[in-house]
Amino acid sequence: MALPNNTLQQVQTYQESDLAFLQNLCCGIATANTKFKNFNDLEANLGSSVTFDRPPRYTTAASLIATFQPSTQLVQTLTASQSANTSYAFSAEQFIFNVEEYMEKFGKAAMQELATQVEIDILRNANSSVMNQLTGQLVTDSGPYRFYGDGVTAINSYQQLAQMIANFKNFGSVNTGIKVYLPDIAIPAIVGTGLNQFAQDRNNEIAMSWEVGRFGTPPVEYYQSNLLPVQMAGNVGNNGTVLTLVSVNDPTGANVTSLTFSGATANDTNAIAAGDLLQFQDGVSGQNNLRFLTYIGHTPSAQPVQFRSISQVTATSGGNVTINLNPANALVWAPTANQNLNYPLVAGMQVKALPNHRCGFIVSGNALYVAMPRLPDQPPFPTSSTSDPDTGVSLRMYYGSLFGQNQQGFVNDVIWGSTLVPDYSMRIAFPL
């Protein structure tokens, strides 16, 4: 007997898979200095910025006769200029039939996406590419002007890490609390070279975790991230062009914040990119080899003079480029408390810029600051403020209904700001 031709309904169920979220390596926020996290609560502080002090500087005279010098309070500014939100909405039917039992996962997905965007922005301090949303301008007073690596040679050994820290400390650093942030894809090669060395205690640890961990005297903390920025350099760096110094904006050497060079391609609109790092070259005929002076003591260090461009530069029809620095990156040979060069800058000195590279960075003295002021409640809408357990970001969440429109919306949002004190940091240039 043949079966009847039944018409049956196929009902699909949406089953939870228990798949975990794909996590990013968020170490920036978790290890940053949050002293000014809620600076809006500080007494008498008004506006979206807070300033904090950097140690003052003096010089020493070789005499018992006092020569009184000016005292200057040095400041760094931290502005909560960034904001972002992740929002989503449902109709009443969608909410009761499809969403209500699944809201926890929607909420967690929104929180992790938003928190990761904050982490990405904070790590942009590594190449000074944070954009102030209030002004539409780059935050030029944040991020390193010194660097390790040439953007071409792989950084893949413990010896290179040790040399990098030695260079960092040679200029002057806080000897406690040195933190290094490395691209996650660089870790396996570094650990692999370490395992070839006779260092039983260290190798037992890194073989188990496959992480660089901490080593050195005093111990340096190493972190890894898959969110570190890439510096897309200008054509001068990518072409290996040698530039020759023509002039500086302050011939007295008291505060050089602008340098003009020759040698770029005529009318090149991308000769130098914002955030490009450059270094004065040794062995130029007739020129002295430039060295930074130690930050305290003002004696020549072993470190070549490096600097960072704060803006994109277009070459003139004659191939000249004028590179601007911010005051924290000023080059000074006048004998003042801010002197950082062992010789004057003179025409004929040469520099080269780094090519495209992925940025790691070093910081000492807990000098990466992050602020995340607590946002107010949104009455009459239910509001909650909490921290993402995976990234440490403080977020606000509120929800409400659009009257008469059969729509219920949910908003996760946050405001934040960050700064990386230039003198206390160094960029690490990894090849792409």
| Strand-pair category, 82-90 with 131-132 | unpaired
Q: What percent of the chain has pLDDT over 90?
A: 52
What's the number of CA atoms in the CB half-sphere (13 Å) around residue 116?
A: 16
pTM over 0.95: no
Burial of 64 (C-beta count, 10 Å sphere; 0-12/13-18/19+): exposed
Question: pLDDT for 15-59, tens place per residue?
Answer: 444 444 445 677 888 888 888 776 666 655 656 787 777 877 777
Q: What is the pLDDT of residue 16?
A: 46
The answer, yes or no, to whether residue 6 has pLDDT greater than 60, is no
Strand partners, 79: 49
Q: What is the pLDDT of residue 21?
A: 46
**Chain mean pLDDT for the chain:** 86
Angle at 244 between CA 150 and CA 423, to 5 degrees: 50
Q: What is the pLDDT of residue 44?
A: 54
- Tell me if residue 332 falls in helix, strand or coil: coil
Q: What is the rounded average pLDDT of the residues 273-291?
A: 97
Q: Please state, in angstroms and rounded to a whole number, the distance separating the CA atoms of residues 15 and 113.
A: 23
Q: Please state, in angstroms and rounded to a whole number, the distance separating the CA atoms of residues 232 and 135.
A: 23
The answer, yes or no, to whether residue 95 has pLDDT greater than 90, is no
Question: pLDDT for 226-250, tens place per residue?
Answer: 999 999 999 999 999 999 999 999 9
Q: What is the pLDDT of residue 197?
A: 56
* Exposure letters 383-407 (e unless 16+ CB within 10 A, then b): beeeebebbbbbbbbbbeeeeeeee
